[in-house]
Structure 1
Amino acid sequence: MDVSVVIPAYDAYEFIGRTLESVEKQVFSGSYEIIVVDNGSTDGTAKVVRRNFPWITLLQELKPGANSARECGRRKATGEIIAFLDADTEVPRDWLERGLRHFRESDIVALTGPYLFYDGRIRDDVYAYLQRWLFFPLSKRVAEQSGMSLAFFANMFVRAGVLENDLHGLDTSIVFDGDDVDTATRLSWVGKVLYAQDMCVRTSARGFQKGLVRKVYRHYKAAREISRRLKKAHVRVPA
């Protein structure tokens, strides 16, 4: 198997169908599998998958947290590359092909890419502006101060062997914010993590509906806490 697409899902009844349809429609020269891990949904998310996509692997993980669900899927995955995707994220038809091309052409351990919103009150042009002038400069500053790296689980490809042999899996103690920062930072100590502009996906703005500024603040507060924890645990931090 070339790629395993792992999708953690929690109360994603409204979105999971569109996400899976976009993954199914891939124009891809290789082989791939789709693994959905229901993380204790109460809205019928698992029923949607069973009813409309019976050929997709559906797992259950009751321990709260997206990383717990991702790790459950990772252990079941058979692909050489694992593509993590959120349950409310839609991908273009050449998403897998483009992702694998980067791995063939570059010496990387992981890659991530940008995302835009397809719903909600946050317009794409506003979000693109914030990405350029707020999120990325702030990310760079935090990374320089703490030795962190950033990637987004809504759109992340990782070599399965690196996850297993170097990272020894994902940190399932992280329940909410900071899981992507933790993983990306540890990956960057193993090898190169590529940010590819041509790997753009579209996702729901539901996570930002209660306040964009609050969401950004929580993310970077968690990032700094994770950085301090990693250093305290004597994990190697780049000079």
Structure 2
Amino acid sequence: MPTEDELDRKYPRPEGISVVVPVRNSIATIDVQLQALAQQDFDGSFEVVVVDNGSTDGITSFIASHSLRETLKLRCVSAPSVPGECHARNIGIAAAVHSFIACCDADDAVSAGWLTALQAEATRYDVVGGPLEKTTLNDPIVATWRDVYEFGGLPTCGNFLPFAQGCNTGFWKAAWDAIDGFDETLIAGGGDIEFCWRAQLAGLAIGYAPGALVAYRFRPSIRQSWRQVVTYGRGQAAVVARYRHHGASRNSLPYLYGWIGHILLTMPIFPWSWNRSRLGAWIWSAGGLWGCLSGGARQRFLYF
């Protein structure tokens, strides 16, 4: 008789995985990720496909001569025509040789059990996501600026469906093909949210792999952090506006008032209050609100 695990299976166990890593001028950080991928305890076969999205830092040559190119079955494909991770991921997935895809980013570091954990859940789900942690790759002060989605399940957005974060996600190539891949019009962020929502609305199943841990790297400067969170907010607003007729929505007005109140109360007004930890956290909160509101305004939709 089949076991309970076998009865619960939707797919066979993936024996091979293609890891897709979109890059754009990532030569300063990608080696940490490649070293982490080389430490995988995965007992199957895997390749690493680096997708160059218009870099000018010589990363294609760097990958071609990398010391791990044989170990990782490492190769680089070019995707310069459309800016953004969505286009880069689509090009990399199309070039992948395996039927199960794992996506990570060039500036993070996957844990040794990352691929094994994704593989374990891949038999039951079309799309799988895992948790992040913020202490390994970040300065202790920078790590206080914001939180990440750690253990406890997949994040949600817009009071709607869960999603797997693009820097830590796995899915079957057949599922990607069934929904026509990532939406390349979402250049400024939100592509991972939209992909997962579209998959679920098409009847595909999304699951959580708690062992698929990724060390996430924050932007180290105040200016970079502001730009990133504003981009995140605008990307979320664009996706929520698109799916509001399916049930996605903004938060309540008391939530907005509370957010504004928090920004005002924690604003570092006096010179002695402008320490880097407090300023970074305030920038993340204020920039997040500005990103949501300005992004919503572009969509003619109040989002926060």
Query: TM-score range, shorter-chain basis?
Result: 0.7 to 0.9
1:57 aligns with 2:75: yes
What letter matches 1:202 in structure 2? A
* Pair 1:12 & 2:26 matched: yes
What's the CA shift for 1:7? 0.4
The 2-side partners of 1:102 and 1:2 are apart by 14
CA distance change for structure 1 residues 209 and 85 in 2, over 3 Å: closer, same or farther?
farther
Report the counterpart of residue 41 of structure 2 in structure 1. 27
- How many angstroms does 1:8 deviate by? 0.3
1:40 to 44, 54, 71: 54
Distance in 2 of aligned mates of 1:42 and 1:213: 24
Equivalent position of 1:152 in the other structure: 165
1:98-154 CA-to-partner distances (Å, cap 9, x unmatched) read 1101123xx21111122223124422x6644x658xxx9xx64x432xx44322111
| Corresponding residue number in structure 1 for 2:176 | 163
| Deviation at residue 230 of structure 1 after TM alignment | 4.6
Specify the alignment match of 2:276 in structure 1: none
CA contact (8 A) 2:37 2:110 kept: yes
More displaced 10-residue stretch of structure 1: 94-103 or 202-211: 202-211
Shift of 1:211: 6.1
Task: Report whether the alignment pairs 1:195 with 2:208.
Answer: yes
Q: Give the structure-2-normalised TM-score.
A: 0.65
Unaligned runs of 5+ in 2: 1-14, 249-304
What is the distance in 2 between the residues matched to 1:208 and 1:178?
A: 22
2:186 aligns with 174
User: SS at 1:34's partner residue?
Assistant: strand
Q: Against the structure 1 CA distance between its residues 198 and 79, is the aligned structure 2 distance closer, same or farther, given a 3 Å change threshold? A: same
| Deviation of the 1:238 alpha carbon | 6.5
Aligned partner of residue 210 in structure 1, secondary structure:
helix
Q: CA deviation at 1:33?
A: 1.2
> Which of 196, 201, 204 is residue 184 of structure 1 equivalent to?
196
Give the whole-Å Cα distance in 2 for the aligned partners of 1:226 and 1:38: 25
Q: Which moved more, 1:192-201 or 1:209-218?
A: 209-218
Q: Which residue pairs with 1:122 in the alignment?
A: 142
* Alpha carbons of structure 1 residues 16 and 198: separation in structure 2 relative to 1, 3 Å: same
RMSD across aligned C-alpha pairs, in angstroms? Answer: 2.7
Query: Once the two structures are aligned, what percentage of the paired residues are identical?
Result: 23
* CA shift for structure 1 position 200: 1.6
Q: Which has the larger radius of gyration?
A: 2
SS at 2:215 equivalent: strand
Distance 2:208 2:229 in 1: 19
Question: Of the two structures, which has the highest relative contact order with CA contacts closer than 8 Å and spacing of 6 or more?
Answer: 1
Count of residue correspondences: 223
Match of 2:112 in 1: 93
